[in-house]
Amino acid sequence: MGSGMARNLLKGGYEVIVHNRSPDKAADMKRFGAIVALSPEEVARQAEIVVLSLPNSETVATVVLGKRGLAEGLRKGSVVIDTSTIDPTVAIEIAGELKARGSYFLDSPVSGGPEGAKAGTLTIMVGGDALAYERSKHVLQKMGKSIFYLGESGAGQKMKLANQSLVGVYFVAIAETYRLATGIGVKGEDLLRVISTSWGDSPVFRHFMKVVKSGNYEDGASIKLMVKDLSIVRGISEKEEIPMSLAKLSLAHFRKASDGGHADLDMSYISRVLEG
């Protein structure tokens, strides 16, 4: 996700300084014009706006607040835009820490997958300081097409979890339906043609059909990310005492896939896991 977003910023005329834990990945961005930094702190010293795309809450907290993290180098007034999907509580805590040091943290999770990141068509859901958002939205506009400012810190992550709760359940429902339809003789191409113009359609359905047809599960949105997202959904639903039987069931299927050694494969692989 991060490389697609960084490339769109470069295309948009921004000077982009990149850092990645794996130096090869950062070095890869050099040929598109990016400057490589050796730590998050080094990025923060040189930038007014910092964009993060990281796997989970723990990593975001470490990259922002850990040793040689962003907080050690951020200038007063700088804005950190976190496009990762993380626990809203962690986003709120980090925003509070940075505010106390004079900078801003906008939770800005995205939807649209690697294709959307590459094409610059992501949906971006923003929570945090309204003025910091106004000052930095020109950057978001280079990465996404539909940008929503939703209010205080955590509001972006809460919306994203609502999205993920649907996406997780959709994947399992689509995989199950695909197995039923093809099992009773419906051709895959007919299923795609007809459902695409019917109520059963969704971007998830189209993505699933494309990946299953190609047989390539290596790229895309990984199963481990859905385990992370649905685990956060489950934690919140338990805390708030809002039962979510379908999200829970979907999490069980994705966990099974992950535990079975498929954590890095595209979520569409869930159909293979349902086979038993």
How many residues belong to the chain? 276
- Out of 30, 76, 145, 160, the active site residue is 160
Asked about 239 being catalytic, the answer comes back as: no
Query: How far apart are alpha carbons 162 and 173 in whole angstroms?
Result: 17
| Binding characters for ligand NAP, 40-79, by CB under 6 A (x = yes) | -------------xxx---x--xx----------------
Q: Does 22 bind ligand NAP (CB under 6 A)?
A: yes
- How many Cβ atoms from other residues are within 10 Å of residue 2's Cβ? 19
Nearer to ligand NAP, 9 or 110 (CB): 110
Contacting range for ligand NAP; rule: CB under 6 A; set: 15-23, 135-143, 189-197, 234-242: 15-23
Query: How far apart are alpha carbons 11 and 74 in whole angstroms?
Result: 25
Of 201, 263, 260, 202, the residue nearest 227 (C-alpha): 263
CB 269 within 8 Å of CB 253 = no
Query: How far apart are alpha carbons 228 and 52 in whole angstroms?
Result: 17
Q: Does 203 bind ligand NAP (CB under 6 A)?
A: no
Q: Does 113 bind ligand NAP (CB under 6 A)?
A: yes
Nearer to ligand NAP, 263 or 274 (CB): 263
Number of residues that bind ligand NAP (CB under 6 A): 20
CB 104 within 8 Å of CB 78 = yes
Those residues with Cβ within 8 angstroms of residue 184's Cβ, 6 or more apart along the chain or in another chain: none
Q: Does 114 bind ligand NAP (CB under 6 A)?
A: yes
Nearer to ligand NAP, 195 or 267 (CB): 267
* Interface with ligand NAP (CB under 6 A): 1-2, 20-22, 25, 53-55, 59, 62-63, 84-85, 110-111, 113-114, 221, 225
